[in-house]
Structure 1
């Protein structure tokens, strides 16, 4: 077990989650209950699963949690593409966030 808050990947995914919540406040009100919920859930699932994996006692258990985090990152990646295409997000912001997701997934 290790202190997940010391992991750079957790720190970066936590900051990404904070950024997602900040930008989602600007989405149209009609989307505030559906898509905004989904993007927030995908975002916070990444650092949550990294933290959960760090508490596991075996490498296979850790890998399982990291795989879930990677799946959530893929969901978030798609959602950012969708929001960009719906014009809820400026292209530059979307691309910056997507780049951060790709870096985290490495």
Structure 2
């Protein structure tokens, strides 16, 4: 949830030309991480794993969006590093949760 808010605040400063391009894609991908975790948590383990995979893919998309934002000088290097730090942690948590759910079947 926190990462989505960080991205939301960053894209406020992006130029208008990015409104329906990088800004919307970055915000959507960041929000989808939390949305997919929440949506999948109420179902079966198999369904939840699928939603976690989608969340992980969204986090990877955020890595690319953050890199593009930095290369286009929309965010600072420090913001870029903060984003990467969050995304590394998010991916670690998702991987650990997925591993745990898979181990329950054994």
Provide TM-score, normalisation by structure 1: 0.84
Per-residue Cα deviation, 1:41-75 (whole angstroms, up to 9, x for no partner): 1011000000011111x211110000000000000
* Unmatched runs of 5 consecutive residues or more in structure 1: 1-13
Matched position secondary structure for 1:19: helix
Q: Which runs of 4+ in 1 moved over 6 A?
A: none
Greater RCO between the two (CA within 8 Å, min separation 6)? 1
Say what the alpha-carbon RMSD is for the aligned residues: 0.7
Query: Bigger radius of gyration, 1 or 2?
Result: 2
User: Any unmatched runs of 5+ in structure 2?
Assistant: 93-106
- With normalisation by structure 2, the TM-score equals 0.84
Name which of 46, 53, 64 aligns with 1:67. 53
